[in-house]
Structure 1
C-alpha cells in the first residue's frame, strides 16, 4: 500500500514539476522569452490545440466548397440542379409525346384516313340483341315530331349537343351545290361544294390555324383547330389568306376557292370536320345551300 502511494506521489510530482523554457539570443546569450511549464500543462495545451484544429477543419469542410473535393461527398447545389433537370426532362418528354400524337392526328386528317384498330363496342353486346322481326319498330306520330324537332335543333349547332353551350354555331364556309357528300364506305370523309374560282372561303368557327401549306394531292390546304377538340379542314384552295399560328374569328375569310392539287376535278372546296380524331359528316351541322 505504501509503495502504491509512493508511486502515485512520484507520478504527480513528475506531472506538476516545473520546467523553464528559455529563448536566448545566440550571440549575446541574452534572455528573450521564458516559460514555466509542466508536463501536465503541455499535455492539456496540446490536447486543446488538437481539438480546436479538428473543429476548425470540420467547419471549413462542411461550410465551404472544399467539401466537393472529398470523394463521396456530393454538393447540395449539384443535387438541386440534378433534381430540377430531372423534372424538366420529364416535362419535355410529356410535351414531346403530346406533340407527336397531335401531329399524327394532323397527318391522319391530311391523308383522309382514320384508325382501323378500334374495338367495335356494338359487337360486345351482340348476344343480347333482340330480333327486330319480333318487335314493332314503326314510330308513332309523337316520336316522328320529336325526331324532326331534334334534327332541326342539332343540325346547325355542333357544340350544343356536345357541351350544352347554346350560343355556338358553325357557319357555312361557302354557299354552293354539293357535288359529293360524306361517304365512309369510300373513305370520303368530306363534303365537296362546287363554286366559282376565288370565292371567299370562311372559317366555320373561332379557332387557331394549325396548318397552312401546299400539298401535292390536295393543293393549298388550311386546317383550323376550334374548341372542344373540333378541327375543320379546307382543301384544293386557290390561295390562302392566313398562316400557321393565326387566331381567326368565325366567318373570317381564310382562303379562296381553287382547283389545285392532283386529286381535284374542278373549282370546288373539299371541306372536312373532325372531332377528337373522328370524321364527322359536315352536312349534319352545316347547310351549304
Structure 2
C-alpha cells in the first residue's frame, strides 16, 4: 500500500470509463485528485524518473519506476525540476499542482499506478482509500 501524493485530496474522477466534455466515452487510467493549485506533489515511493512530458496548456507529467514492475504517473504539474534517470526517495518533492487553467476549472493532480506495463486502479494500492 502507498500513500497519496498530495495532502487531503478529494477524488473528483475515478479510474475507469467516463464521459468527456463532448459526451464521448474515454478511459481514465488513473484518478483525479482535487487540491489547491500550487500544492506540493510528492513521490509515493522511491524510484527513478523514466519519463517527463510537457503538455502545452495543462502542465507537465512525470513517470517514476519503483522496480518490480511498479510505476506511478503524476500529471498536471508545474515547477518540475527533475530529469530523466534522476532518482527520488519516498516523500521527495516532484513538483506542484498546475495552476494555469485559463477556464478556471478545479485544480487537480492526475495520478496513475502501473503494474507490469498495465494501468491498475490506484485506489487498490492507496492507503486511506
Q: Same fold (TM over 0.5)?
A: yes
2:21 aligned partner: none
Partner of 1:173: 5
> What SS is found at the alignment partner of 1:187?
strand
Larger Rg computed on CA atoms: 1
The 8 Å contact of residues 202 and 252 in structure 1, kept in 2 or not, is answered as: yes
Give the TM-score normalised by structure 1: 0.38
CA RMSD, aligned part only?
Answer: 2.3
Measured after TM superposition, the shift of residue 245 of structure 1 is 1.4
Q: Count residues in correspondence.
A: 120
Q: Which runs of 5+ in 2 are unaligned?
A: 19-25
Q: TM-score, normalised by structure 2?
A: 0.81
Deviation at 1:238, TM superposition (A): 2.3
Q: Could you say which residue in structure 2 is the equivalent of 1:219?
A: 59
Corresponding residue for residue 46 of structure 1:
none
- d(CA) in 2 for partners of 1:274, 1:217: 25
Question: Is residue 75 of structure 2 the alignment partner of residue 235 of structure 1?
Answer: yes
The DSSP-based 3-state class of the residue aligned with 1:226 is strand
Aligned 8 A contact 1:177 1:288 in 2: no
Please give the alpha-carbon distance, in whole angstroms, between the structure 2 residues aligned to 1:189 and 1:236: 14
Taking a change above 3 Å as real, the CA distance of residues 214 and 288 of structure 1, as seen in their structure-2 partners, is: farther
> Deviating runs (4+, > 6 A) in structure 1?
none
Q: For structure 1, list consecutive stretches of 5 or more residues without a partner in the other structure.
A: 1-155, 157-169
Q: Distance in 1 between matches of 2:95 and 2:83?
A: 10
**In structure 1, what is the Cα distance between the partners aligned to 2:61 and 2:127?**
22
The structure that is helix-richer by fraction is 1
Does 1:194 pair with 2:27? no
Distance 1:196 1:187 in 2: 25
Deviation at residue 241 of structure 1 after TM alignment: 3.1
